[in-house]
Structure formats: C-alpha cells, structure tokens
Structure 1
Amino acid sequence: MHNYHTEDEPILLREYGRSLQDLVKHIKTIEDRDKRTQQAHAWVTLVKQLIPQPTAKDVQEADVKIWDDLYMLAGYDLDIDSPYPMPDPAKVGRKPQPVPYNDSKVMFRHYGKGVEQLISQVNEAETPEEYLVALVSVARLMKNFYTTWNKDQVEADTILGHIEQIGKQPIRPGIAAFIKQEQLLEITIKDPSVKYSQPAQPTGKTTNKTFKRQYRNYKNKNK
C-alpha cells in the first residue's frame, strides 16, 4: 500500500504524477552518463505514451515541452545528451522545489520506485485490452532499464516475472502468452536525432486499437 500524502515530497507537475517524477529521480542516480542519457530518452518515450499528445502540427512544440519538464523535474541538474538544450530556469514560469531522492527500499534497484508505482497503476486497468497496452508500455521501459543497467539481453519471461513479483499478483490470464507469441517486448525504435535506442511504445489511438484488435483475435482463436 502506498503512502502518498504525509511522508512523500510534493508532486511538482501534476500532469505527470508521482510515478514519472520518481523515475526522474531514479535517472539522476545513474552514474554512467550514457546510461543516464538512454534512460532519459526512454522516459520521454514513456511520457508520450501515457499522456495524450497533440495534433501533428504541434508535435515539435510538445516534444520541447516534455524535455523542458524533464529538466524541471530534475531540478535543472541533469547531465545528458538531449535533442534540445536545457531551459534557463530564470526564464521558466514554474520553479521546482528541491526533491531529495527517496531511499525507501525497492525490490529491483535498476527499475526504481517509479516503475513499482506504474505497475500498480497497470493492475488497476479495467479491461483486458487496456491492461495489455499499459503492461506492454511498462514492460518495454523495464526491459530498457534492465539491459542498460546489466548490459545483458533479457527474455520476456524475466521481465514479466519481475512485474508479477513487484505487483504481487500474476499477470492476467492469456496476456503473457499473447505478449510472448507476438514478441511485443522485442521491438525497438531509433530516434534519428540521437544515438540511443529507445523502447518502442504503442502511440496514438490507431496503434492502441491495433493492439486491442490483435488481442481480441488471439482470444477468439484460443477459446
């Protein structure tokens, strides 16, 4: 059970919530600059999946805002390679409060507290299709964290097993088999503006609908 009110630091930007804020704190603790940069790009990719994005003509402006918000959540103290320069805090209307790193025990250090909270949110999804889309997004992020931290390839079974351990409940029936059959954790994309691989995320209504349709077809075939 999470304690959100009295002991935790305040949420700096409510549109991101505590989970994404905690992920930024976790990224700041990564000593290797290349690893830290890779996880920052993964964070931006995850934000684009979890938060509704604007129309195509406003994409670049929204992209800049996400990177600016990343720097803000990091207290303007984040040494990474990014497609946009760090904004000048003096020119930004919103100033963050100092955020100490939460040293509370986490099950897997390379995932951080934020991932644990994201998994808790995944488990609250109402429909199997919504659960699938959310689970794949978080699992891909976890795979990226795992391979960056350990420099080893990791099987889907391992990531899904970690999700079950962290969430303290099994993955819903049929979901794990579908993820492995369709190899949904094996896909990566490349941002041409940087040298770092990012976890591919289902983006936009069209892709999410495709995910859901594929899963419904899978369930019908395996009844």
Structure 2
Amino acid sequence: MEYNTQKSQLHLPEYGRIIQQLVERCKELPTKEERSEMAMAIIDFMGQRNPHLRDEENYKHKLWDHLFILANFELDVESPYPFPTIDQLAEKPKKMEYPKLQGDFKFYGKSILQLIEKAIELETGDEKEALIEVIANNMKKSYNVYNKEHVTDDVIFRHLKELSENRLDLTGIDSLEKSKIYYANNSNRNNNNNNSKNTNNRNQPAKRRFNNNNNNHKNRR
C-alpha cells in the first residue's frame, strides 16, 4: 500500500493529485511542441475542475501561473504569458497605505474628511451652509457611537473648525437644533402630524354615523 507521504509533494493541493501527475507527465515529454499541446489541455482541465476561477479577472493568466508552480518552475513550454519565477512568488506584497486621519479624530472616518473638502470647495450660499450642517450632524452621530456619551454641539463645532483648518465655522449658532436642517425636519414632522390629525378628523363623522346607526338599531329592539 502506498501512502501519501511516499508520493511526490503537492505544490498546490487544491488541484489534487491527478493534475499534479499530469504536469509531471508533461515535463517528461521529449519535444517542446508536445509539452505545449499537453500544457494547453491541462489548463483547460484545471479550469473545468475550478470553475469559480472563471469569475476572476485574467483567470487564464492565473491558471498558467499555477501550472508553472505545479511544475516547480521546470516546465519548458510555449506560454501566452510571461513565466513566473520563484523570486516573484516569494516576494512579499507591498504594504497598503491606509488613509491618514488627523490626530484624535479618527473615529469620524474618511468620508467626513471628504465631505469637509467638498464643502470647502463650494461657493458661499445655502447649499454650502446645508452641507456644513449635514457634516456637523453626522460628526455628532459618529462621536456618540465611538465615545458612548453625550457630546455638546460646541465640541462638534470646534472639531469641525479644526478639521477644516478654520475654513468651516458653525460657532455662530448656539446649537444644531437652531440650524436650517433642524427647522426643515421639524416642519416636515409637523406637516405629517397635521395631515394625520386631518385624516382622523375626516374619519370622525363616519364613526359618529356608525355609532348612531348602532344606537338606533338597539332602540328599535
């Protein structure tokens, strides 16, 4: 009985023993033309055994790279892509550059900084004022989520001023409740409440008629 420990090492176990044996057989063929033809057949077989790879970009290139890895970089065939090397495989990926947020304000996130830059670019007017107030409201939400405590509006205004390098300033209002956005939301809320009251008032006469009909029916009895 032959154990797996006695067999050759699988360089990419996800492809299994069969494909590894086919690659070893391909390496033994005498001519480059024969090896290239068999390599193409192996690539097609690898794609059939791993259909999920077809959803990836340049999956054919990846399959050829895997073929050379399976062959331990000892396969001499015609390839439509450059041959990978052992050094390339061993090379460590470059360190990702994370966005640098200012000082102690990391909890506000990258999107807040982008909105601040957008607000700075806008010309003075209602649109700019509305965007600044939206930024301040979102900053307050982020602060409360991160710190789990109540924050006063003057703290948010100070942070906004510092993040924008003194180019955005809301210190002229006492609180966010006195901003245009607050009044707009409240007016919409009041309108909705008034509409619901009007609807109830319209329904009341119908309810009275229904109750009166029931009372008349009882009196007849």
Larger radius of gyration: 2
Q: Which TM-score applies when normalising by structure 1? A: 0.38
Task: Choose between structure 1 and 2: higher helix proportion.
Answer: 2
Q: Which TM-score applies when normalising by structure 2? A: 0.38
The structure showing larger relative contact order (alpha-carbon pairs under 8 Å, at least 6 residues apart) is 1
